[in-house]
Amino acid sequence: MMDRGVVVVTGGTSGVGRATARAFADRGHPVAVLARGQDSLDATEQELRERGVPALGISVDVTDRDGVDAAADRVESELGPIEVWVNSAMVTVLGEFRDVEPDDFDRVHDVVFRGTANGTRTALRCMAGRASGRIIQVGSALAYRGIPLQSAYCSAKHAVQGLSDSVRSELLHNGSAITVSEVNLPAVNTPQFDMCKNLLDGAPQPVPPIYQPEIPAAAIVEAARTGERAVNVTFTTTRTILGNKVAPGALDQVLAGTGYSGQTVDRPRQPDNNLHEPLPGDHGCHGSFDDQARETSTQERLRFSPLGTGALAVGKIGRRVGAAAIKRVV
């Protein structure tokens, strides 16, 4: 990643996207945020400029392919060449698959998967002439392990993971220096749980343990610096992905017993949702779970320590050796 290159963050006005936009701005990067709601765009743009960097907020739905293309052209015209593109836009609906309206299910896929595909395609177009750049997919442990009551979101994130693998291999085949990184998140305290469409009996909550959005934001900035293929944020994500590889059937049983109660909390339900239209106002970075959200992670502290940096370098060498061995076999 070039020093202080232009960064685009879709879904950059709340939650992890907002924290990510702040983190890049704090490092001196001009930042453009793409989102639907004008109130939150205006607030985010002002906040980023107060951090001392050029900023731009553009109202666009990421499902609008032409709109995303036009937004990128405006960013490059007003701020400069896009060096980093972060796909963070999301919406969701909580409820059993059989109860979710087909149009609502499709809407989640349109935003989470097709919106990511649109952003990735646009980023590749903008970066192709320079043959370099970073594309960051904000993923999830749920891209590898589906859980009950979130079939739409989980399946869309699974699709993003497959898309990223395909595009990454194509870029390598073409000798491109553009990288595609997945940053897989644990449960995060974002406003989304106050805005999602909810079919449950109680109010929704992230599956504990819950982390503050600044933790994944730091990992996203680091992925933009290194171009690392995949970053699993916190041991919760690492454990979930590994556990699903080792004993997926056991996790089925565990989630059948705990996956319902773990996603609801005893508090008033929100009457409105942002699934099809943005909600008015600025919803900020944190959700309603500041009282229990963790502000630190041992794994993430290790990632930024000299020991963690050394382990990352060894891991990269190991992957290169492994890839060469596979190529010889094939």
Tell me the average confidence (pLDDT) per consecutive run of 10 residues in the chain, 330 residues long: 85 98 98 98 98 98 98 98 98 98 98 98 95 95 97 98 98 96 98 96 94 98 96 96 96 95 90 96 96 92 74 49 42
In this structure, are strands 264-265 and 203-204 parallel, antiparallel, or unpaired?
antiparallel
Residues present in the chain in total = 330
Whole-angstrom CA distances from 228 to 48, 220, 257 are 26, 10, 35
CA–CA separation, 285 and 25 (whole Å)? 15
| Burial of residue 134 (number of CB atoms within 10 Å: 0-12, 13-18, 19+) | buried
Give pLDDT, residue 323.
45
Give pLDDT, residue 314.
45
Percent of the chain as helix, strand, coil, to the nearest 5:
50, 15, 30
118: left (phi over 0), alpha (psi -120 to 50) or beta: alpha
Give pLDDT, residue 327.
46
- The verdict on whether 260 is a catalytic residue reads no
Fold of the CATH domain 6-296: Rossmann fold (3.40.50)
Give pLDDT, residue 325.
39
CA–CA separation, 94 and 271 (whole Å)? 14
Give pLDDT, residue 322.
46
Q: How far apart are the first and last CA of the chain?
A: 33
For residues 44 and 281, the answer to whether their CB atoms sit within 8 Å is: no
Give pLDDT, residue 310.
56
| Catalytic pick among 144, 153, 211, 260 | 153
